[in-house]
Amino acid sequence: MSATATRISPEHRSARKRSHGLQDELVYIAGAAEDVFSVLEDVGALLLRRGIVAGVEWRTKQADGSSFHVELAAGDTTGPRATVSLGGVGRLVLYGDFAADLVATLGILRPLLRLRSRGDQLAAHASRLARRTEALDDVAGLVAHDVRSSLIAALRDEDPREGLTRALELVDSILEAARADQVTTGGARVADCLQLAIADLGESSTDVVCSVSGDFPIPPAALRLVLRNLLANAIAAGAKRVHVSLLARGGGRRMLVVDDDGVGLTSADPYATGAQLGLRLCRRLVERCGGALELRPRAIRGTRAVIIAEKGKP
């Protein structure tokens, strides 16, 4: 009884040679890359660089589980293909004549990616906890600052109940703003947030004009709180008129400008003294939303407050 030797074509022999030591490199990539996305990006680059595959795709399952979405694609994604299951992070689709020969080898990625995915989730959770801890510190300061101001104002009213009610509403708005996270999608309609901020402050003789009709890339609760603080400072500085406008800059930067004609930043007015706590906390809130808050003296009189944010954020 004679044995029949399996003949290996030169092409297959060359493909096996190019895949020699591949598992070791895959393990190294999985440990060295920053996150799951980087792992699969580097794996695809490695396979293409070695010439083992003609193309590669990373696909993840849609939220409803009905289909897969292409997250990464490189090379020629036509012709013969083979699929490598990656567990919870999707699947890797390999293209080329010898793609099927790599399925078993690339199977080592499944436990490695599962571990990296869990690590990424823990890191994201830790980041959220850190932001929330910082937010709690801010909330304590904002509540103490704004409620104290509201209570003092209420004591001056003929009927303190209205001022006390407004103080409670301010607390609610602060707590809502503190829950605004950097990952919040969408933006705030400036005119709506400004109207709510004006209502928070109650009656005032200051004329507030808004020339903004669109959105600004900061969560609504946060923008309302910041605008209310800026308006309160302008009123305390004796401003007769406040103008809110929008500027666009290159690179996707947008600037929401709040101009007032009060006494400005150089006097001993409450704008430059007692209001600093609220301004400092509002700066931190805007920074957590991916932006910045700046104060500048106006050339003639008053103060210009500028809220800077990147288009597409938060």
Q: What is the CATH number of domain 126-310?
A: 3.30.565.10
pLDDT at 149: 63
The per-residue DSSP string of 168-235 comes to: HHHHHHHHHHHT--TT--S-EEHHHHHHHHHHHH---S-EEEE---SEESS-HHHHHHHHHHHHHHHH
User: 28 is written with which tokens?
Assistant: 């190294």
pLDDT at 229: 85
User: 261 is written with which tokens?
Assistant: 């004609």
pLDDT digits (tens, 9 = 90+) for 211-221: 988 889 888 88
Residue for token digits 């396979």?
47
Highest mean pLDDT among 124-128, 136-140, 206-210, 216-220: 206-210
pLDDT at 2: 45
Task: Look at phi and psi of residue 284 and say left if phi exceeds 0, alpha if psi is from -120 to 50, else beta.
Answer: alpha
Backbone phi and psi for residue 157, each to the nearest 5 degrees, phi listed first: -80, 155
Q: Rounded to the nearest 5 degrees, what angle is found at the Cα of 269, between the Cα atoms of 266 and 270?
A: 120
The stretch 7-25 carries a mean pLDDT of 63
Residue for token digits 């704008």?
271
Closest CA to 237 of 274, 208, 200: 274
CA distance 307 to 294: 7
pLDDT at 291: 87
The stretch 299-303 carries a mean pLDDT of 85
Of 55 and 2, more confident: 55
Question: For all residues of the chain together, what is the average pLDDT?
Answer: 76
pLDDT at 274: 40
Residue 244, beta-bridge partner list: 210, 258
Residue for token digits 């994201």?
124
- Pair 120, 126: CB distance under 8 Å: no
Closest CA to 143 of 163, 160, 167: 167
- Residue 276 makes CB contacts below 8 A (sequence gap 6+) with none
pLDDT digits (tens, 9 = 90+) for 38-91: 889 999 998 998 888 999 999 988 767 677 888 889 999 999 999 999 888 889
The CA–CA distances, whole Å, from 144 to 101, 161, 233, 278, 294 equal 66, 19, 16, 10, 23
Residue ranges matching CATH 3.30.565.10 in the chain: 126-310
Chain length of the chain: 314
Residue for token digits 């980041």?
127
